[in-house]
Amino acid sequence: MVPTTIGKWLALTLVAGALQVLATAPVAAQGTVRRHLIYFRDKAGTPFTVGKPEQFLSARSLARRSRQGIAILPRDLPVSPTYVSQVRGVAGSPQVLYTSRWFNAAVVSCDSVTLGRIKALPAVRSAATLNRSFQPVAPTPPPGQIAANAANNPPTKRAQYGLAYRQNEQIGALAMHEAGYRGEGMQIAVFDAGFPGVDQIAALQPLYKEKRLASTRNFVDGGTSVYQRSSHGTSCLSTIAGNQAGFYIGSAPKATFHLCITEDVNSEHPIEEANWLAAAEYADSAGVDIISSSLGYTTFDAPSKSYTYADMNGRTAISSRAATMAARVGILVVNAAGNEGDDPWHYVSAPADADSIVSVGAVDSLGNHANFSSYGPTADGRIKPTLSAMGRASAVLAPNGAAFRGNGTSYACPILAGMVAGFWQANPTLTAQQVITVLRSTASQAAAPDNVLGYGIPNFVKAYNAQHTSAPLDANGQLPGDGDALTLFPNPTGDGPLMLFLPAPLRGQPLLVRVVDARGALVAEQQLAAVSGRRTQLQLGRLAKGVYICEVSAGTTRRSVKFVQL
């Protein structure tokens, strides 16, 4: 599909007022036409109210807020239609491309003379120029497809995941999938520079067959065509959504996705941050749970003013302010930390500097910091990155369906975003901020976070078990008692309660529990009534430090497990 031009922006129709994108006919400009962010003074005259949010937010968006105890506030109200009409009525026929509820602003395309007239309107507070040029790109030709060699009944889990095995294993995603959490019911918005080949790649076809591609939006060219422009988004999406057993499996292969083009790789100007803002508000309106953004902003093309490190405080950059607002409405934002670690810039970029989001650094397969991965802290002294995942030699898919290895926090970000989706799926009562807290507190450097890897590499099993202390998963994602083995938790144990997890042959009948020490001497014995469930609590009394064998029998059925008393 041919990309639309500036004058052909289409209206987004998800929810009335959720994200207003207005179209006008092209007109001859007196000077160079640029895009500008027009800030309004207030929202006077808006027909919308916080008492009727269903008029501008979807039911799923409202449910996400409700689960997390987040109120509808005036910031959520759409921009006043009266103010938009006033801008459109200015001589010079400016085009209102879209509006921002959170910033109470509009992105307007016009020449400098017309901009002066807009700034003179009583409703306008200020204006900022967002770009100096716009270059629509030619359609991306369909990529030649490479047939994936999917194995028939592959013998090992490694073969199931193909090249993506290690990047999933490192963060516990293999165990997460084994435990039954593959992102079902979770919605992820991917912000990037293009998605050519996504509709053709064999490993991504389940998105279409299972109707899990919820929407597409192109905030650069307008409209909904996203299978074009840069293949960067294709590769990033594949790390989460890939789902072809025996060839390639991503970190959340059963999640639902929204694909948004916000980045124009032909130039670098603040308009792309405004696109990020618009996409975030769209994601909010749609009820998205997680944003995965492998984008970052530091230096712009002249004459746009570049950021300095002092601006990386989470409160200056447009994209950082937008990411913070997304976090405030209950979206969990996952953003690449940046690839400037060995460049003069060195530090994280925007919006990775935003507060209350997960900024992702890159490590190799052994967990070592990748030299290109950007460092913290933020300019105001906060630890960044937040967490780290595999971004060196990550396995990704090309538009033709071939798997290859690439480098960048761009890949670490979506790999981790998929695990975040599975963890939140497993713990649906947590808020977005609580999810971040649990992942941080159980990551590899939780006890000593730094500005290289942040809190370290998270692991699904460790995070899950921190929330489910009475029914923890083993390293393979199995609940105790799922197989034929007897299990004790915790092991090693201390002074707290000791949980006994029973395999199926020991359930539903009276049990005899005997504990012997390393010499074989009986130190404790307990009779248990029939247990129909998987677990029961033992009352063994205080044991001396040492190694013990717990033997449980029911008739002729007997199982034993070794444990350590600390």
Predicted confidence (pLDDT) per residue in 234-273, tens digit: 999 999 999 999 999 999 999 999 999 999 999 999 999 9
Q: Which long-range contacts (CB under 8 A, 24 or more apart) does 365-368 make?
A: 365/166, 365/167, 365/170, 365/390, 365/392, 365/393, 367/170, 367/444, 367/457
Reply yes or no on whether 76 is catalytic.
no
Look at residue 538 in the predicted model and tell me its pLDDT: 86
Alpha helices in 89-172 (DSSP H): 112-119, 157-161, 165-169
Round to whole Å and give the CA distance between 457 and 503: 32
Round to whole Å and give the CA distance between 450 and 219: 36
Q: In what order do the strands lie in the sheet with 522-528?
A: 522-528, 511-517, 546-554, 557-565
Beta strands in 183-289 (DSSP E): 187-192, 213-218, 243-244, 248-249, 256-261
Look at residue 15 in the predicted model and tell me its pLDDT: 34
Round to whole Å and give the CA distance between 118 and 350: 29
Residue ranges of the chain assigned to CATH 2.60.40.3080: 487-565
Positions in the chain whose pLDDT score sits under 50: 1-29, 148, 150-155
Reply yes or no on whether 364 is catalytic.
no
Reply yes or no on whether 495 is catalytic.
no
Rounded to the nearest 10 degrees, the angle between the axes of helix 59-68 and helix 271-286 is: 90
DSSP structural state of residue 177: H
Look at residue 425 in the predicted model and tell me its pLDDT: 96
State the CATH class of domain 487-565: mainly beta
Round to whole Å and give the CA distance between 211 and 243: 14
Round to whole Å and give the CA distance between 501 and 491: 12
Look at residue 133 in the predicted model and tell me its pLDDT: 61
Tell me the pTM.
Answer: 0.83
- Those residues with Cβ within 8 angstroms of residue 521's Cβ, 6 or more apart along the chain or in another chain: none
Sign of CA dihedral 387, 391, 395, 398: positive
Round to whole Å and give the CA distance between 461 and 472: 8
492: preceding bond cis by omega (within 30 degrees): yes
Which H/E stretch holds residue 174?
A: helix 173-178
Question: Model confidence over 88-118: pLDDT tens digits?
Answer: 999 999 999 999 999 999 999 999 999 999 9
Round to whole Å and give the CA distance between 176 and 252: 9
Q: Which entry of 232, 258, 269, 369 is annotated as an active-site residue? A: 232
> The tokens of 448 are what?
């000593």
Look at residue 291 in the predicted model and tell me its pLDDT: 98
Q: Which entry of 293, 349, 410, 444 is annotated as an active-site residue? A: 410
- Those residues with Cβ within 8 angstroms of residue 253's Cβ, 6 or more apart along the chain or in another chain: 177, 182, 183, 206, 240, 241, 242, 243, 418
Name the nearest CA neighbour of 281 among 99, 414, 424.
99
Tell the CATH topology of 157-429.
Rossmann fold (3.40.50)
Question: Which residue type occupies 371?
Answer: N
Residue ranges of the chain assigned to CATH 3.40.50.200: 157-429
Residue 91 buriedness (CB in 10 A; 0-12 / 13-18 / 19+): exposed
Round to whole Å and give the CA distance between 337 and 372: 10
- Say if CB 391 and CB 380 are below 8 A apart: no
Which H/E stretch holds residue 560?
A: strand 557-565
Q: Which entry of 192, 289, 311, 482 is annotated as an active-site residue? A: 192
